[in-house]
Structure 1
Amino acid sequence: MAPSRMAGGTLIFQSCDPAAAPAWVARCVESVRNWAETKGYSHRLLGNELFDPLPPDFASACADRKLPMSDLARLLWCRRFLAEGWDQIVWIDSDVLVLDPAAFAVDLLDHEMLCRELWLWRADGEIRARWAVNNCVMAWRPGSAVLPYYIHACAVLAAAEDGPGTLGLGPAFLTRLNAAAPLPTVDTVMTLSPLLMEAILSGDHTLLANARTLWNAPVYAVHLCGSLSGEGGPMLNPVQRYDQVITALQSNGFPA
């Protein structure tokens, strides 16, 4: 049942279509729901109604790409929920897996919080690393100046001649914004690139240890990058790999 309109408290919300989502996504959502219950937070799962608040011309401006459409839609829901009187609104992607529900926390010290990202990949025989800011986990409190600015920026970028790219309203925009004015970020949610997922399954302890050294923070949850699921490309993960990685992480945690 959806949380009723209330004053105060924290609302965790996500979105996926339970009828169409693969089993591994359901496992991730369940981990977030259980964590929210542990913390005494309310939890709401949206389906396709996630996109209901979007302006009529926004989908066409995005060429119907779901990622940029979701980037704005989740912000509009955050604004709506804050207007209902919640103290804190937290969006969590449906491909985020909570590993340590007791330790994982999103309580804000500021009016907003985004998510730190370390993206690792292999090129020319070497491991490359890139720091970014993403919106797989984001939290807002009333009075945030960043939330209305972010919503406005999405509209401006969508109206540009070429429209927003797939990541143009998410990590690409937030990373540029962070370079100009540092954003508060949660540093306990680690993004798992295909390279890191493969390292977990193959037991590449050297690579995982190097990743932990670079990350330099506890890992209480992971972002599994479901947008890369599929077959036939060097950056795509076979769907079954997600279940295998989740099982390994739930059994052993993120390798130390």
Structure 2
Amino acid sequence: MKTVVYQSFRNKDVPGWITACMASVKAWAQAQGFEYRFYDDAFLARAPDWFRQKAAGQICPVTDLARLVVAKELLADGWQRTVWVDADLLVFDPDALQITAQSGFALCLELWLYADAAGARRVSQRVNNSVAVFCAGSLHLDFFIDACVRIARQREQIGKLDVGTAFLSPLRQILPFPLLTEVGMLSPAFMAEIAAGQAEGVGDYMRALPGPLAAVNLCGSLQGQPVHGVVADDALYEAVIARLLATRGGALNGLRG
């Protein structure tokens, strides 16, 4: 199936860990026989000016819409399948990351492990678009574009997750659609555990997943922000990436028991 994988990031002052993540995606795409395309910041202009203004500096909702618009452009150019991948996503087991959708679309399963008010560990199941697959003839691509625009028009300001996870997760409750389960998500706290060689929280997370992982979203939008007492910096991202690549994901998948 004629497939193109695409990503976007600025082309100046790019952190080394982002470069490593994108290199892993490009290598995976080429090994799969897929075309690979990189878009610089001009990609953000796929979202209209008024939309970007309402995003008030938040990149996530702008890229949420832009990736859909570009998918439509690529499909119109004759590609049979488009695969968007976030720039902060690392592929550490390329053979295990398989895109099997032949029609329609697919997004990503997101499990988020947290502690409730009583201190008990809980897992919430959500949907994210860190990898978003659309095939030619999909009935839903225009719907997703229209939904992003409608949601934005109803708000004075677009929140970080308003047209992404906060929209997609409840949607799947009424409109079941395929999810990639090989793509995980590491919070700063989980990354700190991996870097320190500790695995209590990460182990609980891995055992809650339906199967082993081939890639992880490293939550770059949380960099520099305190999350559960951990602030992720470049050194932490680099340490986690090095360990996951060196073990081909064994540092995570080995915790499934």
Question: Same-fold call, TM > 0.5?
Answer: yes
Does residue 243 (structure 1) correspond to residue 238 (structure 2)? The answer is: yes
Corresponding residue for residue 10 of structure 1: 3
The separation in 2 between residues aligned to 1:140 and 1:80, in whole angstroms, is: 12
1:22 aligns with 2:15: yes
The aligned amino acid for 2:242 is: T
Q: Which amino acid in the other structure matches residue 35 of structure 1?
A: W
Q: Distance between the aligned counterparts of 1:109 and 1:87, measured in 2?
A: 9
Of 102, 106, 111 in structure 1, the residue corresponding to residue 104 of structure 2 is 111
State the number of aligned residues: 249
Question: 2: CA distance between counterparts of 1:50 and 1:39?
Answer: 24
Show the counterpart of 1:89: 82
Structure 1 residue 103, shift from structure 2 partner: 1.8
Give the distance between the partners of 2:156 and 2:50, measured in 1 at CA: 14
Residue range with higher mean Cα deviation, 128-137 or 160-169: 160-169
Aligned to 1:98: 91
The answer as to 2:210 corresponding to 1:228 is no
1:230–1:239 Cα contact (<8 Å) kept? no
Which residue in 2 is equivalent to 1:43? 36
Counterpart selection for 1:201 from 190, 195, 202: 195
Counterpart in the other structure of 2:26: 33
Deviation at 1:16, TM superposition (A): 0.9
Percent of aligned pairs sharing the same letter: 33
Q: What SS does the aligned partner of 1:21 have?
A: coil
CA deviation vs aligned residue, 1:96-117 (integer Å, no higher than 9, x gap) = 1001112211121441000000
Do the aligned partners of 2:103 and 2:136 also contact (CA within 8 Å) in 1?
A: no
1:74-110 deviation digits (Å, cap 9, x = unpaired): 1100110000000100000001100111221112144
For 1:133-148, list aligned pairs within 5 A: 133-148=127-142
2:74 is paired with a residue whose SS is: helix
- Unpaired runs of 5+ residues, structure 1, are 1-7
Q: Is the 8 A contact 2:152 2:158 kept in 1?
A: yes
Contact 1:121/1:193 (<8 A) preserved:
no
